[in-house]
Amino acid sequence: MTLNSRWMIYGANGFTGRLIAQEARRRGLTPVLAGRSDEPVRDLAATLELESRVFTLKNPSEVHRNLEDLDLVLHCAGPFSRTFSPMLESCLASRTHYLDITGEYQVLEALQRQGPRARQAGITAVSGVGFDVVPTDSVAAHLVHGLPSATRLRLAFRGGTISRGTALTMLEGAPEGGRSRQGGLLVREPVGVRTWRVEHDQVRYVAVSIPWGDLATAYYSTGIPTVETYMALPPAGAFVMRGSQFAAPLLRLRAVQKLLRERASRVRGPTAAAMNQGCTIVWGEATDPVGRRATAKLLGPDGYRFTVETALAAVKRVLTGDAPTGAWTPTQAFGADFVTALPGVELLQAQQGHFTL
């Protein structure tokens, strides 16, 4: 980062935004902390001795005013299906680099259409610079490098507990059911319609198909036309997840959504001890039409610690000019080895199926 760089964490008072802000300050960085909630934002900024700004994303001119003196925004306030567009539009208008930590495939897909506008504005725009796609995107890129003829990609992850914001985002998307990418097209399907058995340290998991961000990012990063994404669960959890497809119509009811939103709002996220002890596992498999197979497994820290590391690394890369202008996936912007250079990350890779998942 240059000495004169000015950047913002928007949504700094949220669970993940707070973690990033605290670590940034520990490293001697001085982001502006911002968000929609006056007292929480200002209290955190006072504690960390940082500048604060409070504004919503409802008024474009107000957002523009708060961004026009900044070089970059790290956007951490979800659900991004609601907040992505107004923040990106303001970044394009103010020529401010845009990063976010979403894992919502709809947002990641939408960003890809903004490449020409981002290049015209002279900014770098990258969605998904957290756990919610950086490690999986890296695995996808390494697999296609090992098997360029691949036409099908499967990615599974296991990453620990969730925060209030993540719970609310998952709740909002639940009524829409599942998705996969087949032949380059996003296809609607029930959650859990596919399963994939994976293993780590002799512990077996049932990976259940879910609509994850890599349905967009892995497709654009690799060009592989069929992409399926999975969450690895113990057998009992997989059974419950597969059964959730029958509840989808109920989840669309306003009264049910209200009840579940109240429950989700009570989620407080993992403790520091849980994050320090937790880990992330990503499994990947690429296959081609004649049966060749490449596999990989990535190991890293707890998902929230992972997000702190990847988000701050992405901020540094953009502010030092080490990223192209335009709208990109993480590996398109920073390279397939971006994640493997971070502390506590290990990538195990094999070609032609010689590696046991």
CATH code for position 13: 3.40.50.720
Angstrom distance (rounded) from CA 353 to CA 357 = 9
Q: Go through the chain and tell me how many residues it has.
A: 357
- 37 and 157, same domain (yes or no): no
Residue 278 has what pLDDT?
86
- 182 and 237, same domain (yes or no): yes
**Angle, nearest 10°, between helix axes 164-173 and 254-264?**
160
Spell out the alpha helix ranges (H) of the chain: 15-26, 38-48, 60-67, 80-94, 105-112, 115-121, 134-146, 164-173, 214-222, 235-243, 248-251, 254-264, 272-277, 303-319, 330-334
- 100 and 18, same domain (yes or no): yes
Range(s) of the domain holding residue 347: 134-303+339-351
The alpha carbon torsion through 34, 37, 40, 43 (nearest 10 deg) reads 60
- 84 and 145, same domain (yes or no): no
Residue 182 has what pLDDT?
98
With respect to residue 232, please indicate whether it lies within any of the assigned structural domains: yes
Q: Any idea which residue has 């988000």 for tokens?
A: 311
Angstrom distance (rounded) from CA 131 to CA 304 = 7
- 78 and 177, same domain (yes or no): no
- 201 and 346, same domain (yes or no): yes
In DSSP terms, which residues pair with 346 in a beta bridge?
Answer: 299
The one-letter code for the residue type at 136 is T
Residue 260 has what pLDDT?
41
Q: What's the distance, CA 53 to chain centroid?
A: 25
**Residue 33 structure tokens:** 């902390």
pTM more than 0.75:
yes
Give how many domains the chain has, as a whole number.
2
**Angle, nearest 10°, between helix axes 105-112 and 214-222?**
40
User: What are the φ/ψ torsions at residue 291 (nearest 5 degrees)?
Assistant: 95, 0
The one-letter code for the residue type at 188 is R
With respect to residue 356, please indicate whether it lies within any of the assigned structural domains: no
With respect to residue 357, please indicate whether it lies within any of the assigned structural domains: no
- 212 and 262, same domain (yes or no): yes
Residue 264 has what pLDDT?
45
**Residue 202 structure tokens:** 């002799």
Mean pLDDT per block of 10 residues along the chain (357 residues) reads: 82 97 98 97 98 97 97 96 97 98 96 98 98 95 96 91 49 69 96 92 91 96 97 64 50 46 56 85 97 96 95 98 98 96 88 47
* CATH number (domain holding residue 243): 3.30.360
- Taking CA atoms, 112 is separated from 177, 243, 304, 325, in Å, by 23, 33, 25, 13
- Taking CA atoms, 92 is separated from 1, 71, 73, 116, 177, in Å, by 21, 12, 11, 11, 32
Strand, coil or helix: what is 311? Answer: helix
- 20 and 57, same domain (yes or no): yes
